[in-house]
Amino acid sequence: MSDLADQTLYSLRGLLETGQCSAREAAADLIARIRERDGEIRAYVHLDEESVLRQAAAADAARARGEGGELLGLPVAVKDVLNVKGDPCACASRMLKGYVAPYDATAVSALRAAGAVLAGRTNMDEFAMGSSTENSAFFATRNPWNLDCVPGGSSGGSAAAVAAGEALAALGSDTGGSVRQPAAFCGCVGLKPTYGRISRYGLTAFASSLDQIGPITRDVRDAAMLLKAMAVPDPLDSTSVDVPAPDYMAALGERLDGLRLGLPREFFSDGLDPEVNRCVLTAIELCRKLGASVVDVSLPMAPHAIATYHIIACAEASSNLARFDGVRYGFRAGGANDPVELCCRTRAAGFGPEVKRRIILGAYVLSSGYYDAYYVRALKVRTLIRRDFDRAFASCDALLSPVTPTAAYRLGEKIQDPLQMYLGDLYTIPANLAGICALAVPCGMTGTALPVGMQIMGPAFREEIPLRVGHAYQQATDWHLRRAPRHGKAGQAAP
């Protein structure tokens, strides 16, 4: 059977269950697709074909014995920031080049336990800092919809792989939008679960109070499937919360009757591209037709989210990345005469410019004399942002907005201007600061055939609500069924 790489996880599961194909055939098809396309897209930093085929064959054998979990034989790619035992885990950094993970992240072992095949490591911005995947120390990834454009970031390799048919689904991590934004730029679904929903054990830390692992998939049902498998409480992460995960698949339906959806006015303000605005408003109108009521709400502190985020995230990053000292992990610079020099030389040569910028900013806001003025104040603003969401969710079940103010931009366009790059995260960051869940779903295309995403934010530990809204929307639309062009550039998108 051909084109197994174009299936959703759910549809491939059906084919496997009815014996129409084997997991090994699906894996072989996927590898062939990666060989065909990745020279151009560059979504992967590592692929062990033998391992993928071996895991798939083991899944087939398990099925033949009548064993296996919900994801038996289904391939999932993994961002280079998550530990997969035996695979390199470099976080797209020179600092960790050649580092091989000695253990599985809990999210990864949960997928393994459900029978999934772990299929390749995807490119990212170095240590997940960035919005375009151009900060990778290895190479940039291209957007399958237009090879001159960025795929978004920091999980750009994961989103590009799913969009290019080089992965059925992939894991990303989202500290300020890194699952949702690349999903939106590449026409995929991206879910940032509630902080605490999926264990962060084995996820290389960027900003520990904000980081969450999330799936990037072709549709909402697949995101629900992967979330269910990974939403397990974990004693190895003290912030993982033991709130029982409902049956997310059972919560999906075709109608939205009785749901109250809020439009935060601050998310439809100046700087929002008119085409993105039009696509999102059209999608919201459809949600109304599906039975939801739509009301305006306000999140007055949201405009302060970017500044607050960059203080908190950089402060945490400066502390988390202190461990890369040339002694314990990965890269070590030569020529040092003493340990301090060794550390300085290693960090100077091992980290790229964006990572250094953030470490310096983080060390600054934590330094004596500035700690209260910046870091403590940012924590207070974070509390106010969270309270805004509490108030909004008292009258609404979910909040709708664009994922990003613009569609994907051109490679090189913003890389010299970090502030412009940061401003692109203004709609995604608030959900991380508040610790709530948020889903990105494709909801239209620009005139130049680039995907546009809608964000559906839900209260903490209520992922079933955004999933329900997103799924009902997908039952009534076909944006998620469109595929990036196989060859060529913008304007040639397949219908």
Residues in contact with ligand GLN by CB under 6 A are: 128-131, 154, 173-178, 206, 313, 425
- Phi then psi for residue 171, to 5 deg, are -95, 145
Q: Which of 330, 348, 457 is nearest to 402 (CA)?
A: 457
Q: Which residue lies nearer to ligand GLN by CB, 51 or 239?
A: 239
CB distance 148 to 154 below 8 Å: no
Q: Which residue lies nearer to ligand GLN by CB, 305 or 449?
A: 305
> For 131, what's the count of Cα atoms within 13 Å in the CB-facing half-sphere?
31
> For 450, what's the count of Cα atoms within 13 Å in the CB-facing half-sphere?
22
Active site residue 318: no
Active site residue 208: no
CB distance 68 to 132 below 8 Å: no
| Least separation in angstroms between CB 71 and ligand GLN | 25
Cα(461)–Cα(463) distance, integer angstroms: 6
Q: Which of 345, 368, 347, 369 is nearest to 358 (CA)?
A: 347
- What residues are paired with 438 via a beta bridge? 192, 457
Cα(438)–Cα(300) distance, integer angstroms: 19
| Least separation in angstroms between CB 129 and ligand GLN | 5
Cα(298)–Cα(430) distance, integer angstroms: 13
Catalytic residue among 93, 158, 178, 401: 178
Q: Is 67 helix (H, G, I), strand (E, B) or coil?
A: coil
Q: Which residue lies nearer to ligand GLN by CB, 59 or 385?
A: 385
Q: Is 440 helix (H, G, I), strand (E, B) or coil?
A: strand
- Phi then psi for residue 202, to 5 deg, are 90, 0
Cα(225)–Cα(467) distance, integer angstroms: 11
CB distance 73 to 59 below 8 Å: yes
Catalytic residue among 22, 131, 136, 154: 154
Q: Which of 106, 81, 382, 386 is nearest to 240 (CA)?
A: 106
Q: Which residue lies nearer to ligand GLN by CB, 234 or 316?
A: 316
Q: How is residue 393 written in tokens?
A: 């969710």
Please give the helix or strand (H or E) that residue 438 lies within, else none.
Answer: strand 437-445
Active site residue 79: yes
| Least separation in angstroms between CB 175 and ligand GLN | 4
Q: Which residue lies nearer to ligand GLN by CB, 261 or 306?
A: 306
Cα(110)–Cα(120) distance, integer angstroms: 17
Q: Which residue lies nearer to ligand GLN by CB, 351 or 479?
A: 351
- DSSP annotation of 460 reads T
Q: Which residue lies nearer to ligand GLN by CB, 180 or 218?
A: 180
Q: How is residue 154 written in tokens?
A: 């920091």
Residue 188 CA: distances (Å) to CA of 180, 222, 225, 445, 473: 9, 11, 15, 12, 14
Cα(270)–Cα(303) distance, integer angstroms: 11
Q: Which of 442, 458, 472 is nearest to 287 (CA)?
A: 472
Please give the helix or strand (H or E) that residue 76 lies within, else none.
Answer: strand 75-79
Residues labelled as active-site residues: 79, 154, 178
